């Protein structure tokens, strides 16, 4: 059980880092350049910025590279460079796709969407990794449903805790 949890965290770490680091680096020019969609609402909103996207991805990739470096010493599964990049970038892509649909449904920036706000980045990370490195993805996730289940249960808990912390240190405007 503990081994499954540790393996799940290890495999998801690039995504677990890129997502909160986007909050740390966020600000400045929004990815949608301030433009509106046909419905008159913002395409993505001010909560998705280039600085967040790039800063978050770079931090996730750096962690993944460190993990690749250490994997001969750690018996928890090794990474490919593709997986490191798709886990980090895919997490933030999933978060942006979520914001796109949030805006279409009329939710304003920062509005709360339980579970979706917490699992968007997991979906994005898995999707992009499955597309670009299906072999790594099947070996590490598809072949072990317990890892998938563990990630789906643990992520909302981790997400809640990090965001409450981010709110108290005044990095985040909302505690979710």
Residues binding ligand CTP (CB under 6 A): 22-23, 26, 45, 47-49, 52-53, 92, 95, 99, 102, 109-111, 172
Q: Which two tokens stand for residue 128?
A: 């992009």
Give the nearest distance from C-beta 23 to ligand CTP in angstroms: 4
Burial (CB count <10 Å: 0-12, 13-18, 19+), residue 14: buried
Give the nearest distance from C-beta 75 to ligand CTP in angstroms: 33
Return the DSSP state at 173: S
The nearer residue to ligand CTP, 8 or 53, going by C-beta atoms, is 53
Alpha carbon distance 143, 55 (integer Å): 32
The nearer residue to ligand CTP, 26 or 60, going by C-beta atoms, is 26
- Could you tell me the maximum CA-CA distance found in the chain, to the nearest angstrom? 53
Residues 6+ apart with CB under 8 A from 101: none
Give the nearest distance from C-beta 33 to ligand CTP in angstroms: 13
Helices marked H in the chain: 2-25, 50-70, 81-104, 116-132, 134-137, 145-168
The nearer residue to ligand CTP, 93 or 147, going by C-beta atoms, is 93
Give the nearest distance from C-beta 136 to ligand CTP in angstroms: 24
Give the nearest distance from C-beta 109 to ligand CTP in angstroms: 5
The nearer residue to ligand CTP, 134 or 175, going by C-beta atoms, is 175
The nearer residue to ligand CTP, 76 or 111, going by C-beta atoms, is 111
Residues 6+ apart with CB under 8 A from 138: none
């Amino acid at each position: 059980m503990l081994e499954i949890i540790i393996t799940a965290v290890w495999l998801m770490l690039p995504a677990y880092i890129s997502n909160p680091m986007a909050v740390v680096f966020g600000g400045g020019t929004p990815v949608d350049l301030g433009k509106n969609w046909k419905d008159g609402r913002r395409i993505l909103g001010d909560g998705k910025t280039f600085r967040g996207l790039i800063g978050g991805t770079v931090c996730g990739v750096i962690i993944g590279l460190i993990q690749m470096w250490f994997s001969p010493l750690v018996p928890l599964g090794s990474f490919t460079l593709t997986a490191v990049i798709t886990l980090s970038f895919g997490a933030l892509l999933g978060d942006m796709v979520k914001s796109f649909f949030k805006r279409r449904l009329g939710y304003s920036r920062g509005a709360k969407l339980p579970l979706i706000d917490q699992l968007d980045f997991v979906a994005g990370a898995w999707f992009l990794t499955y597309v670009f490195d299906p072999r790594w993805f099947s070996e590490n996730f598809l072949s072990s449903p317990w890892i998938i289940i563990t990630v789906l249960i643990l992520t909302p808990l981790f997400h809640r805790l990090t965001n409450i912390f981010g709110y108290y240190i005044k990095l985040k405007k909302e505690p979710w």
